[in-house]
Homo-oligomer: A and B are copies of this chain.
Amino acid sequence: MALIVKKFGGSSVATTEKILAVAERILNEKKPDDKIVVVVSAMGDSTDNLINLAEGIDREPYKANYLREMDMLLTTGEQVSIALLAMAFKKFGQPAISLTGSMIGMRTNSVHTKGRILGIKPQRVHEELNKGQIVVVAGFQGADKFGDPVTLGRGGSDTSAVALAGALHADECEIFTDVDGVYSADPRIVKNARKMKEITYFEMLEMARLGAGVMQPRSVEMGQYFNIPIHVRSTFTNDTGTIIREDYTVEDKDFEIRGVAHDQKVAKIAVLGVSNTPGIAHTIFSALAKANIDVDMIVQSIRNIDKNITDMVFTIALEDLAEAKKVVDRVAERVNASSVLVEEDVAKVSIVGAGMLGSPGIAARMFGALARADINIDIISTSEISVSCLIKASQLTEAVNSIHDEFFSD
């Protein structure tokens, strides 16, 4: 007997035909004694439709004082899909029951539309499982201390599935998605990318942080916290996908690195001609921190050692660019910078792998691969288990492929 949490995203339940197919698939795989919890998102574009309705009331439905009502509105999306999926199981003769986020005791803070999970008391889930029911749970949502519905923000359904698996002490959490696992690079860019059998939480987190879209970092953190194996697999096939876990169980570590990640949603800001005095970096980056803008790569370079003039260059998420520019322009005036340059045509390519710890040659091989492809590196940054290079966005595909070839060709 195994207790398994399975999560299906919105595209897997976009129509009633697909919902029936999901139910059928789960029943085909289910062993008689298995206890199954299914976490689902809202059907296809139903969330967009709900947002459109809200825009009929106000063109800016995400204003701060609307957010509680947006959550009241948006949580209906999953409530529809759980009801229909539970009906689909019953149609096939399988007892099933749907439960909302609030009903599974998914307690969140009160930050509407971007809630965080504070804890789960899934008593009701255990009760229904013990009655032989498949329990269908609304992902992406919980309730705060007032009992008000709260949505979890981006990637929230994965996060709730993994957190619920943790709270239930499940044997595994399966994330069904439109890709069939975690690859050594994005298979849309690298033709011969390899599907990994396993990857550690630590490396997966770094991959996700560096742009690998398959899992949101928060859900991987949650898996690590509860030590729940996360099985990333395809909605469309029955193949085994990739299991994210604490450590490797099979011999799958022939390669020095685990994968090549990339991120195009970055922008570069350069504050030029600043006097190189103590506190300049602090002035710039504390202003950005106050505006809730994360700074990623940072380079400070001396331009003129005699005049003690320096340039401060850093990257941020592309979506924060407009806000960051405002903040930086203000600060630049205060610190007498000569100018502020912004560049959007940049991308970040990274290699990830715990194996590179104590293997200094690996970074050099990455730079060599880029050099051979005639790609100029703008900024380099490193962490314990990754090396990242900022390059021109137009050269990204070539960069990812040449680095992947360097490490993964037989």
Binding site for B on A (CB under 8 A): 15-17, 19-20, 50, 53-54, 56-58, 61, 65-66, 68-70, 72-73, 75-76, 79-80, 82-84, 86-88, 90-91, 97-98, 100, 103, 147-148
Task: Report yes or no: A61 in contact with B87, Cβ–Cβ below 8 A.
Answer: yes
Which residues from B are CB-within-8-Å of A84? Answer: 53-54, 56-57, 69, 73
Task: Report yes or no: B80 in contact with A66, Cβ–Cβ below 8 A.
Answer: no
Task: Report yes or no: A98 in contact with B80, Cβ–Cβ below 8 A.
Answer: no
Tell me, rounded to whole Å, the shortest Cβ–Cβ distance linking A122 to chain B: 14
Task: Report yes or no: B87 in contact with A147, Cβ–Cβ below 8 A.
Answer: no
Residue of B nearest to A90 (CB): B65
| Cross-interface CB contact of A66 among B50, B90, B147, B148, cutoff 8 Å | B90
Tell me, rounded to whole Å, the shortest Cβ–Cβ distance linking A44 to chain B: 12
Of the candidates A65, A68, A84, A98, the one having the most CB atoms from chain B within 10 angstroms of its own CB is: A84
Residue of B nearest to A98 (CB): B72
Q: For the complex, give the distance between the alpha carbons of A72 and B53 in Å.
A: 21
| Copy total for this chain | 2
| Cross-interface CB contact of A72 among B19, B82, B90, cutoff 8 Å | B82
Knowing A79-B73, A83-B69 are in contact, say whether A88-B57 is a contact too (CB < 8 A).
Answer: yes
Additional A-B contacts beyond A54-B84, A57-B91, A72-B86 (8; CB < 8 A): A15-B56, A16-B56, A56-B84, A57-B84, A68-B97, A69-B86, A69-B90, A73-B80
Q: For the complex, give the distance between the alpha carbons of A148 and B19 in Å.
A: 22
Residue of B nearest to A73 (CB): B83
The 10 residue pairs across chains A and B that have the minimum distance between CB atoms = A16-B56, A73-B83, A76-B76, A72-B83, A69-B83, A57-B87, A69-B87, A69-B86, A76-B79, A72-B98
Residue of B nearest to A148 (CB): B103
Residue of B nearest to A52 (CB): B16
| Cross-interface CB contact of A87 among B54, B76, B79, B80, cutoff 8 Å | B54
Which residues from B are CB-within-8-Å of A83? Answer: 54, 69-70, 72-73
Which residues from B are CB-within-8-Å of A50? Answer: 80
Which residues from B are CB-within-8-Å of A80? Answer: 50, 53, 73, 76
Of the candidates A54, A57, A61, A103, the one having the most CB atoms from chain B within 10 angstroms of its own CB is: A57
Task: Report yes or no: A69 in contact with B53, Cβ–Cβ below 8 A.
Answer: no
Residue of B nearest to A63 (CB): B90
| Cross-interface CB contact of A16 among B15, B19, B57, cutoff 8 Å | B57
Tell me, rounded to whole Å, the shortest Cβ–Cβ distance linking A177 to chain B: 23
Which residues from B are CB-within-8-Å of A53? Answer: 16, 80, 84
Of the candidates A87, A88, A91, the one having the most CB atoms from chain B within 10 angstroms of its own CB is: A87
Which residues from B are CB-within-8-Å of A97? Answer: 68-69
Q: For the complex, give the distance between the alpha carbons of A84 and B68 in Å.
A: 11
Q: For the complex, give the distance between the alpha carbons of A66 and B76 in Å.
A: 19
Q: For the complex, give the distance between the alpha carbons of A76 and B138 in Å.
A: 13
Residue of B nearest to A75 (CB): B79
Task: Report yes or no: A72 in contact with B65, Cβ–Cβ below 8 A.
Answer: no
Tell me, rounded to whole Å, the shortest Cβ–Cβ distance linking A305 to chain B: 57
Which residues from B are CB-within-8-Å of A82? Answer: 72
Tell me, rounded to whole Å, the shortest Cβ–Cβ distance linking A101 to chain B: 12
Tell me, rounded to whole Å, the shortest Cβ–Cβ distance linking A89 to chain B: 10
Which residues from B are CB-within-8-Å of A15? Answer: 56
Tell me, rounded to whole Å, the shortest Cβ–Cβ distance linking A105 to chain B: 11
Task: Report yes or no: B70 in contact with A58, Cβ–Cβ below 8 A.
Answer: no
Q: For the complex, give the distance between the alpha carbons of A80 and B76 in Å.
A: 7
Which residues from B are CB-within-8-Å of A19? Answer: 56-57
Residue of B nearest to A96 (CB): B69
Residue of B nearest to A19 (CB): B57
Q: For the complex, give the distance between the alpha carbons of A20 and B68 in Å.
A: 18
Which residues from B are CB-within-8-Å of A20? Answer: 57
A-B contact pairs, 23 of them (CB 8 A): A15-B56, A19-B57, A53-B80, A53-B84, A54-B83, A56-B84, A57-B87, A57-B91, A58-B87, A65-B90, A66-B87, A66-B90, A69-B83, A69-B84, A69-B90, A70-B83, A72-B83, A72-B86, A72-B98, A73-B83, A73-B84, A76-B76, A76-B79
